A and B are shown apart, each in its own frame.
Chain A
Amino acid sequence: TQLLEQSPQFLSIQEGENLTVYCNSSSVFSSLQWYRQEPGEGPVLLVTVVTGGEVKKLKRLTFQFGDARKDSSLHITAAQPGDTGLYLCAAPMNNNAGNMLTFGGGTRLMVKP
């Protein structure tokens, strides 16, 4: 079974602080995705990382894929209340005729004004 473990599970910070959340596995993945889910909504794709060591930036969000393609991190600079939500990492399952993803348990972020 492929497992994605996310940490921390919960994070509550003040506006303006920086933070990093992690997605780890013992499996190697061909790619990895990060989604954000706002309260009462479905998850929305933020980014896909494909190459080991790859870094992608999306405004104040920086995503990194580990060199061995087993882990990833998401760093937010100067967090804002609009960043509040559940951050999920996901990766394609192996032997995957159904194009299925396996999801981590998520990091629930609250940014207080």
Chain B
Amino acid sequence: NAGVTQTPKFRILKIGQSMTLQCTQDMNHNYMYWYRQDPGMGLKLIYYSVGAGITDKGEVPNGYNVSRSTTEDFPLRLELAAPSQTSVYFCASTGTSGYNEQFFGPGTRLTVL
């Protein structure tokens, strides 16, 4: 099992450009999450999904969109990138058993100039 995979690993965008961060998990988890982590800080929840076709906003959703057409994939879309979106983005997933332990991808480091 690959677990949670994210692409790309690094990306530099110009202000106003758009991009999609990809996230895929092969653990058949229903719940998936997108976080951002600013330098020296913890994790802030951007969006989450409880299953295919269902998404909802987290703590910091402005400037982002998501979709969940399949159980495996949960892409994050940035429209009109801004310098404030410079961050490291992590995708995570969890199943329905246990204590909500989350499995994280390796992250995407995004710089907006």
Listed in ascending order, the chain A residues whose CB lies under 8 Å from chain B are: 9, 30-31, 33, 40-45, 48, 50, 88, 90, 92, 96-101, 103-106, 108
Task: Offer 16 A-B interface pairs, CB within 8 angstroms, sorted by A.
Answer: A40-B106, A41-B107, A42-B4, A42-B104, A42-B107, A43-B102, A43-B104, A88-B42, A90-B102, A92-B100, A101-B100, A103-B42, A103-B43, A104-B42, A105-B42, A108-B40
Nearest CB to that of A93 among chain B residues? B100
Count residues of B near A (Cβ-Cβ below 8 Å): 26
How many inter-chain residue pairs (CB < 8 Å) link A and B? 61
Nearest CB to that of A33 among chain B residues? B101
CA distance A100 to B93 in the complex (A): 10
Partner pick for B102 among A31, A96, A97, A101, CB 8 A cutoff: A101
Are A97 and B50 also in contact (CB < 8 A) when A42-B104, A104-B42 are? yes
Q: Is the interface of A mostly helix, strand, loop or mixed?
A: loop
The answer to whether B31 and A99 touch across the interface, beta carbons within 8 angstroms, is yes
CA distance A23 to B99 in the complex (A): 18
Partner pick for B106 among A41, A98, A101, CB 8 A cutoff: A41
- List residues of chain B with CB within 8 A of the CB of A43: 43, 90, 102, 104
Partner pick for A48 among B92, B99, B105, CB 8 A cutoff: B99
The answer to whether B105 and A42 touch across the interface, beta carbons within 8 angstroms, is yes
Are A92 and B40 also in contact (CB < 8 A) when A98-B50, A99-B31 are? no
